[in-house]
Structure 1
């Protein structure tokens, strides 16, 4: 009798979980993700519900959301006295339609008078960063997702120690999960040298003050002396920090008013983590190259998916050619739809991915999109021999986007990211040269050959695509 009662209670609990999940999850989660969670809970309710409670909703603490809103308001107010630096695109152009959207989403106006150098040599880019730190006279601010305990991490720590010894005010923000090894190795040492070090989104016993455990700050920003800044995809680690996957990156080294805007992003993240308000210096005099630039910050603290909305819009607005470079391609329906419509409308859409991938589930999930894209005319190229970790985009001959944003759901919904938009044909031409170098060492994916892959492989790809929607 007891066994019958126990079985009945398990059956009732089983169905109660399913019914509650059906009524509750769609109210809190994106439709695609909700379908995936309901499918999992429908199969294994007693496992699916705890997983959803832990990872199902990308919540962030109210305090962080409030601080981000305050920081964004401060950014808008701080730009008001600098109206003379505003760049105004011509009406009816792609930039003319994109600029207002980016400004409303991320709070940053486009500014003229910048210098932009694209650095695609891994070691040379790091050497340039270290040289800039060594030349600092009053301030060094570094914000990075990953700092490894290797030769590069050691070199950066040494440079910060030298700067602090000269009286330079040094601050270092590192993601608590991505830079765990770097924080463990260098945090105490750097603090003893006078460097202010903080871990972002620390979790642990402090999780209620941060958010869901896998929300991360994925930005890579360095600001030195209010004069020069670096922004892009490159972390503070050796190119081979993932064995077997030597990274290839792209970083923009910038001068001009945009440096003050990158400083404002650092100050915002510093405020989110510490509650301390940093003074952001006014924008410096303009650079002779006169490149128009605009920042695109995004992340779960913002009310909208800034990165995803902007990239989808740029694809829709393109008139001739779009090139997208990313290591992780698991986009949402909006990005897939934009790429499909652009290609079918006659726009050349080129997707450049890495032939190797250090995340197997992601690799399977992105394969699930290839056939649909190839069938509508999107070109897909797989780059070898390095792991192409660069993240950038070019639109027609006028707009380049470079930063930390991957074309995946994680970057759009879970990570704090940064993108630099350059509205300048010269920067786009330099990015086209970088893209051409990728394509020279890449193999095009052929639709007919791709369709011949085994059925079991297609099934795995479909399952992986569903699993990536769990958020």
Structure 2
């Protein structure tokens, strides 16, 4: 019924959409916080993120708010939980809330034996330290398959750490091996307040969001009506952002929510950035499975002469990759599906790839993995986000991002330094022939790929994973 009611409005938005001919004007009209460029910085690498996270926890005096897909029951996850409880013991007035995905927190790792998941660790911490650190489970959908909490952001008093990373050994490089993600620190009281208020209002105020650190959380089936209402509220929710005048040298920072196909501010902004690009686009994604509108926008950008650079992980740097020497599981098919997508894209744009207008970068660093997301557009716009730029993030997961508009180009050197650092372990793909041939894939992979393509299930898999 809601789809029918909103159909005329969606049609009108498409017909008069400012995203097509006037994307730049539309972007410049977005509300934003005026943040001094000196208050924005990049943290290079997982070790820097790890150290900054622990330092901010130790220094916080009023509030700590962590939103992430999961906080893992492993050495790094326990280290973070112990640090949070230690901070509260030292300053009992400190408000500490951790929000994780409801479904993800109550299961074991994919391919491992059944377990109570990370929630058991949260409850153990309460038994040992008391209830000063509240851990909440956020059920974005009835089932994990159909969408998860992929909102990101860590608020410490008036400082925001923004990263697409979750919290576990590999994201925090606890034992040498790491998963590369981006992290930025922004010191701005108004931005921190907006991000904290959104989470407290939308999550703490919902009957669907329940504590995971307390015994006997309710079964998901008993929360289904509340989850339905929660989804409807999320669809209408937005960050509270002022229409600020941008002084010289300041950066316009706009927090954006993304949820669902219609009226998705984050998706619309990504398309506006791609459609409004005049010279250069740099796109980062961990899983090469671009939504149709993004593929179309990139094609238009190439046809109008824009330089396009895309960085993704080599299939061996994908977090689902299973080395041939290990027993194969079905989930290990995903990196090969993504590589097939890349092969088709490279073949389609072979001319631009050969001329250097299109550059496809494959990241690989030993046994480490790759999880970068985001956009750089021209010299004055960047998007920090946990959005994977795939169909699942486009339509199912609850996402967010920070749009940085920098008309004075005060952040240009910072962005270029980050881009140069990311390319240290990347090689340019010369053409689609440089990718491993499907004939050389492991036998189990070849068999599954043939079966999926025969019944066209590969398209469905691409949409869900």
Shared fold, TM over 0.5: yes
Whether 2:398 is the aligned partner of 1:469: answer no
Whether 2:281 is the aligned partner of 1:306: answer no
What's the CA shift for 1:345? Answer: 1.4
Q: Distance in 2 between matches of 1:452 and 1:417?
A: 33
The equivalent of 1:405 in structure 2 is 387
Q: Distance in 1 between matches of 2:395 and 2:240?
A: 31
Whether 2:152 is the aligned partner of 1:176: answer no
Task: Name structure 1 gaps, 5 residues minimum.
Answer: 1-25, 28-91, 104-108
The equivalent of 1:111 in structure 2 is 33
Q: Distance in 2 between matches of 1:245 and 1:304?
A: 39
| Segment drifting more, 215-224 vs 235-244 | 235-244
The equivalent of 1:88 in structure 2 is none
What's the CA shift for 1:440? Answer: 3.1
Rg comparison, structure with higher value = 1
Selected match of 1:415 from 380, 393, 397? 397
After superposition, the C-alpha distances for 1:194-216 in whole angstroms (9 at most, x for unaligned) are 2222111187xxx4xxx675310
| Segment drifting more, 304-313 vs 151-160 | 304-313
Selected match of 2:319 from 343, 352, 358? 358
The equivalent of 1:229 in structure 2 is 160
Flag the 1:428–1:176 CA change in 2: closer, same or farther, 3 A. farther
Whether 2:406 is the aligned partner of 1:445: answer no
After superposition, the C-alpha distances for 1:35-60 in whole angstroms (9 at most, x for unaligned) are xxxxxxxxxxxxxxxxxxxxxxxxxx
Flag the 1:266–1:427 CA change in 2: closer, same or farther, 3 A. farther
**Larger helix share, 1 or 2:** 1
| Equivalent pair of 2:285/2:312 in contact (CA under 8 Å) | yes
Q: CA RMSD in A?
A: 3.5
1:294 alignment partner, SS class: strand
1:319 alignment partner, SS class: coil
| Equivalent pair of 2:318/2:335 in contact (CA under 8 Å) | yes
Q: Distance in 2 between matches of 1:234 and 1:164?
A: 24
Selected match of 2:84 from 160, 184, 191? 160
The equivalent of 1:125 in structure 2 is 49
| Segment drifting more, 112-121 vs 335-344 | 112-121
Flag the 1:392–1:451 CA change in 2: closer, same or farther, 3 A. closer
The equivalent of 1:383 in structure 2 is 363
1:155 alignment partner, SS class: helix
The equivalent of 2:255 in structure 1 is 295
Q: Distance in 1 between matches of 2:131 and 2:282?
A: 44
The equivalent of 2:375 in structure 1 is 393
What's the CA shift for 1:450? Answer: 4.5
Selected match of 1:199 from 130, 134, 137? 137
Flag the 1:289–1:450 CA change in 2: closer, same or farther, 3 A. same
Q: Distance in 1 between matches of 2:134 and 2:388?
A: 29
Q: Distance in 2 between matches of 1:271 and 1:288?
A: 39
What's the CA shift for 1:397? Answer: 0.1
Count of equivalent residues: 363
Q: How does 1:42-191 map to 2 (within 5 A)?
A: 95-100=24-29, 103=30, 109-114=31-36, 115-165=39-89, 166-167=91-92, 168-180=94-106, 181-190=117-126
| Equivalent pair of 2:32/2:241 in contact (CA under 8 Å) | no
The equivalent of 1:344 in structure 2 is 303
Q: Distance in 2 between matches of 1:234 and 1:133?
A: 17
The equivalent of 1:265 in structure 2 is 198
1:339 alignment partner, SS class: helix
Q: Distance in 2 between matches of 1:305 and 1:282?
A: 16
Flag the 1:454–1:384 CA change in 2: closer, same or farther, 3 A. closer
Flag the 1:387–1:99 CA change in 2: closer, same or farther, 3 A. farther
The equivalent of 1:327 in structure 2 is 286
Q: Distance in 1 between matches of 2:50 and 2:176?
A: 20
What's the CA shift for 1:282? Answer: 11
Flag the 1:217–1:331 CA change in 2: closer, same or farther, 3 A. same
What's the CA shift for 1:392? Answer: 1.6
Q: Distance in 1 between matches of 2:312 and 2:144?
A: 29
1:329 alignment partner, SS class: coil
What's the CA shift for 1:265? Answer: 3.0
What's the CA shift for 1:419? Answer: 0.7
2:319 alignment partner, SS class: coil
